Amino acid sequence: MRWGILGLLFALLALPVAGPALTGDQWIVVQGASMTPALQIGDVIVVDPHGPTGVGDVVTVRHPDSSLVTHRIIGVDEDGSLLLRGDANTVTDPDLVARGEVVGTVTAVISSPWSTVLRACTSMVGRVTLIGAILLLLFTPSVLARSDDRGQTEGMNWESRRGRSRSRASSST
């Protein structure tokens, strides 16, 4: 069981780094409520830089101020620019978005409780806690096993002494 827990902790430690590295996707934490109910604040979205970009797709785009915005494509202009709107917004975004500003298409949403775990694993405090738990599981059982071995040895010595004293008592009678 200890190895299973260790494997899980290692996976939690590696997943936020290995997942995007292996797939080429980008994982982004949703910061705003403009896409509710499809996306909730705190959800982790998986953004594929090579995904489709057609009407109805949810895309993440980079604005001129370098911020990322995730909205749904509701139209495509003649020049290929995209018209976006958040699902919770009543008006469309004021500016058309050039296809070159698209970071990627949202291909998956990781919601709570798993998004909470992923966010915790990517924070410094979360990573230090996971490393501490791994070290604790790696070294504590060996210390406990040594103390158990000593107890068994002492117990065997006591039992063997007790057995010797019984045999002496029975031979003297």
Task: Tally the C-alpha atoms within 13 A of residue 54's C-alpha that lie toward its C-beta.
Answer: 1
- Each of the 173 residues of the chain gets a pLDDT tens digit; together they read 667 777 777 776 676 666 676 778 888 889 999 999 999 999 999 999 998 899 999 999 998 888 999 999 999 999 999 999 999 999 999 999 999 999 999 999 988 777 777 777 777 887 788 778 777 777 775 555 555 555 555 554 545 545 554 555 555 55
Domain ranges of the chain: 24-116
What is the model's pLDDT at position 100?
92
- Whole-number Å distance between alpha carbons of 34 and 67: 15
The helix, strand and coil proportions of the chain, stated in percent and rounded to the nearest 5, come to 50, 20, 30
Do 89 and 34 touch, CB atoms closer than 8 A?
yes
Q: Which of 69, 80, 79, 9 is nearest to 39 (CA)?
A: 69
Do 99 and 61 touch, CB atoms closer than 8 A?
no
What is the model's pLDDT at position 48?
94
Q: Which tokens is 43 given?
A: 């959800």
Residue 94 phi/psi, 5-degree rounding, is -65, -30
- The angle formed by the CA atoms of residues 164, 165 and 167, to the nearest 5 degrees, is 65
- Whole-number Å distance between alpha carbons of 157 and 73: 78
What is the model's pLDDT at position 1?
67
> For the chain, how many helices (H) and strands (E)?
3, 6
Q: Which residues pair with 75 in a beta bridge?
A: 83
Looking at the domain covering 24-116, what would its CATH class be?
A: mainly beta
DSSP per-residue string spanning 4-26: HHHHHHHHHHHHHHHHHHHH--E
Q: Is this structure's pTM higher than 0.75?
A: no
Helix-helix angle 2-23:124-172, to 10 degrees:
160
